[in-house]
Structure 1
Amino acid sequence: MHGIWNDLAVNILGEELVVVNFDKLAVTEFTRHIVWELSFDSFKDKIFPQELRIARKARTFRFGYNMKTCISNSFLEEIISNFRFLRLLDLRTLWFEDLPKSIGNLKHLRFLDISENPYIKSLPNTIYKLLNLEAFHVSYCEKLQKLPKDIYQLQSLKKLSMTTCQVILGTRFIELSFLQSLTLRSCKGLTLMWDDDNVRHLNSLRTLNIIDCPKLTCLRNWFTSLKEITISDCPNMSCLPATFRHLTSPINKIQCTRWT
């Protein structure tokens, strides 16, 4: 009996989780998780495979690690328009200049990763429509000029990691009241995070990582809920907030390397 149930589980998983490429597109209407395996071919001139449309109820669409290849805007549009029930969309290490505005139509999306894209300069403001988004990763996007102005409306967002060219984070950024983890990585122009009074809105923040932000000199006050702090490769950082001694709960981890 155990063998029968095991075989059944394998068969079900085999239908729900499918690894695909341009030569292997055997999905079904029961496929829920699609993984595009590592390929060194460019997607720039490729047409979205029509065979994948049958899996329109897929919850996951992710690409293999370390793709480092271009993908066309039309290919991205097809992913978004065909898989409206996605919970997870992983475009990490794919190279494209624009994230389609239609990204805002993925109402069920909880995880979005567009990290390690050296070409993207801006994000569509329609991202604010992703009201169920819990994790957003946009690190190592060195040309990204700024975050969308209405990002503060992502009230379900708990984890954010990013690279931006901004000198100061927008004042409304701190209205992400449920944000628990924030990572700022390689923000070369960042000199100030936010002003003292408003930072108190981030009262759910537990983890703060600041890595390779050479112009950031000081952290302002009122990080009252932090549990873990990592500061690395910030050569001009001269002080931590005096209010750290007034934290409402003890910090479990402080790691500071290569700062003054």
Structure 2
Amino acid sequence: MSTDSAGGVRRVAIVTGGSRGIGRETVRRLAADGHAIVVNYAGNAGEARAAVDEAIAAGGQAIAVQADVADEKAVAALFDTAERTYGGVDVVVHAAGRMYLAPIAEVDLAELDALHRTNIRGTFVVAQQAARRTRDGGAILLFSTSVIGTALPRYAPYTATKGAVEAITMILAREMRGRNITVNTVAPGPTATALFLDGKDQETVDRLAAQPPLERLGTTADIAEVAAFLTSPAGHWVNGQVVRANGGLV
């Protein structure tokens, strides 16, 4: 069991995709709340190490563990490490994902298969371990996208995978009955991450930033605050929901 400097019990969180973007900011935010965190990453060990350092500086404990989220053996080992290091798992934030954009008529089916492997299979694999191994009273948080509502052209491959995530959320929340575990999804709008900005010119970025009534892009901190609330005791009455954190988009 992980303890803080005062001898209290720390909650333990696994954050997939924790080395960059929204996942990394969520690591820092949960660390500021005193969590012990397992930072999962796909391949960039240097960025994962930096995320661990930031978490420790923010007041948490942290280690980094590499795992392909679509590989069930690797994800089981990820949970094994969390349990062995910190005594159990209370919070699972599944922020890992990939994006591929193309008009439906031009979709590369090999790219679509790769997208499905990470975003759908990966979500099932992580959710399966989370359902089996999150301690009673804990929280599971997945990620979707507000493009499900805005229906932007070229986003069909990506958005279709996130529609699957929303369906998983609703059903898993009901399957957790009797264990006091919440299951929710955050669906960000346009957020200033490398994943979002990659391949977009400034005109496109400015146009998307102007769409919300709040007239700006979201920040990783905006989304991490929502994640922290939904996985905290204060947010525990919110369950089986998709929270569209998007500044007022449809």
Give the TM-score normalised by the residue count of structure 1.
0.29
Structure with greater contact order relative to length (CA < 8 Å, sep ≥ 6) = 2
Higher helix share: 2
User: Which structure would you say has the larger Rg?
Assistant: 1
